[in-house]
Amino acid sequence: MNQNNFCALPWVSIHTWANGNMFPCCKSDPMISFGKLDTSKSYKDNINNKSFINLRQEFLENRQPKSCWKCFEEESKGIRSMRIDQNNYYKEYLESDYFKNNYIQKPKIFYLDMRSSNKCNLCCVMCSPEFSHKIYDIYRNLDMYTDNIQFKSFSYYEQLQPYVNEIKTFYLAGGEPFLDENILNILDMLDENSEIKTIIFTTNCTIDLNKSKLFDILKKIEKHNVNLRISLDGNKEYNEKIRLGSDYDQIIKNILFLKENFPNFDLVINPTIGTLNVEHFNLFYNELLYLNLKWDLNFIQFPDYFNIINLPQDLKDSIINKFKNQNPILDQIVYFLQSNGNPLKYNEGLEFYNKFYKEYVEIYK
């Protein structure tokens, strides 16, 4: 395929939110929905709606679709985009007739990123009701935007059954994926003898992993490449301050349990970095070195009052001085802090935190 702008994902991938909004992948602009998943319809009908057909047509005409701006922007900065990564992954298939039409007769799913529920047990302050039903009441009391639906969930795993064994990558988040029956059911459908797949979870890792169904399913998928990304944002004090409702000691206990019982799992600490946890992040990083795990940082860009580029300059300077040239993880934070921001936003974030926490205590404590 000689088309420089081509992306395979609209032919082989689906990403949904718990409210049913569909996208070709998680990088696609979240403000440009490709329609709502109709659970009464087949997968083939859902992914052959007008929006997806138009998107595929744009790629067939070697154009850069508007919804894909993040990939093309990253590439213009020399960053390896999801488009490049995924095209590479499927390059042996790209010349086939399957990718020549905008309508898909016999769909294949290679990459499934279906977030089918916003059921969650936590109220992380930077998150939203879209991902945690528990934040809904807090937002309502604070007169913040909600779409008036607290619990979002759909069940589509039966319609996906014919495709499950062909999927190469599952990305499972939520809500909290370990609380989502749909996710557990999809994994339960995997044929014992299916080829090796990549299964990526992003989890708050607070759920008791010894609970039989979850434990049995994790055991069942053990032979695959399981990548478990554990959201942990700071030491006990900071994690519990940000990830309201979480118990740091239980998370560490779960990590040790996973290390012992699932030695083949790739465990990654996946902190979400924002104005509330960045200052002492170095101490947290050093504290967990004994676990000998990988790290992958996730930076808050929205809401912007938690984005670390908006820290006051003196605080930025002191963090940069403390973190620079210590190790590649802290260097990523130093790099991020070098962009200019708006320090007025920082105070807005602190005020929001206090309001959010007050509501949380009133509702849940």
Ligand X SMILES: C[S@@+](CC[C@H](N)C(=O)[O-])C[C@H]1O[C@@H](n2cnc3c(N)ncnc32)[C@H](O)[C@@H]1O
Given the rule CB under 6 A, which residues bind ligand SF4?
7, 9-10, 24-25, 27-28, 68, 70-71, 82-83, 86, 120, 122-124, 127, 131-132, 174-176, 204, 243
Instruction: In angstroms, give the least distance from the CB of 352 to ligand X.
Output: 12
154 vs 323, beta carbon nearer ligand SF4: 154
349, 312 contact by CB (below 8 A): no
What is the rounded CA–CA span in Å between residue 365 and residue 354? Answer: 15
Tell whether residue 239 is a contact of ligand X (CB under 6 A).
Answer: no
The token duo for 274 is 């924002």
Contact partner at residue 300 from ligand X, ligand SF4, none, CB < 5 to 8 Å by partner kind: ligand X
137 vs 176, beta carbon nearer ligand X: 176
From candidates 176, 218, 251, 309, binder to ligand X by CB under 6 A: 176
Contact partner at residue 258 from ligand X, ligand SF4, none, CB < 5 to 8 Å by partner kind: none
What is the rounded CA–CA span in Å between residue 300 and residue 306? Answer: 7
Tell whether residue 298 is a contact of ligand X (CB under 6 A).
Answer: yes
Instruction: In angstroms, give the least distance from the CB of 74 to ligand SF4.
Output: 9
CA distances from 269 to 202, 229, 231, 273 (A): 10, 6, 6, 12
Using the rule CB under 6 A, give the single segment among 20-28, 54-62, 279-287, 297-305 that binds ligand X. 297-305
From candidates 203, 239, 275, 310, binder to ligand X by CB under 6 A: 203
359, 141 contact by CB (below 8 A): yes
46 vs 86, beta carbon nearer ligand SF4: 86
What is the rounded CA–CA span in Å between residue 203 and residue 279? Answer: 24
Tell whether residue 173 is a contact of ligand X (CB under 6 A).
Answer: yes
- Region 111-130 residues binding ligand X, contact defined as CB under 6 A: 120, 124, 126-127
Locus of tokens 């088309």: 3
Cα-trace Rg, the chain: 21
Contact partner at residue 25 from ligand SF4, ligand X, none, CB < 5 to 8 Å by partner kind: ligand SF4
Instruction: In angstroms, give the least distance from the CB of 57 to ligand X.
Output: 32
What is the rounded CA–CA span in Å between residue 33 and residue 36? Answer: 8
Tell whether residue 307 is a contact of ligand X (CB under 6 A).
Answer: no
Alpha helices in the chain (DSSP H): 9-12, 43-47, 50-60, 69-76, 82-89, 136-141, 157-160, 181-188, 212-220, 236-242, 248-261, 281-287, 313-323, 328-337, 344-364
What DSSP line would sit under 112-181, residue for residue? EEE--B---S-EETT--TTT-GGGHHHHHHTT----S-S--B---HHHHGGGGGG-SEEEE-SS-GGG-H
Instruction: In angstroms, give the least distance from the CB of 298 to ligand X.
Output: 5
Instruction: In angstroms, give the least distance from the CB of 13 to ligand SF4.
Output: 7
Tell whether residue 131 is a contact of ligand X (CB under 6 A).
Answer: yes
- Region 247-276 residues binding ligand X, contact defined as CB under 6 A: 270, 272
Q: Which long-range contacts (CB under 8 A, 24 or more apart) does 80-83 make?
A: 81/27, 82/9, 82/25, 82/26, 82/27, 83/7, 83/9, 83/27
Verify cis geometry, omega within 30 degrees of 0, for the bond prior to 234: no
Instruction: In angstroms, give the least distance from the CB of 112 to ligand X.
Output: 16
Locus of tokens 């047509």: 57
44 vs 236, beta carbon nearer ligand X: 236
Contact partner at residue 44 from ligand X, ligand SF4, none, CB < 5 to 8 Å by partner kind: none
Query: Which residues here bind ligand X, judged by CB under 6 A?
Result: 120, 124, 126-127, 131, 173-174, 176, 202-204, 231, 270, 272, 298, 300, 302
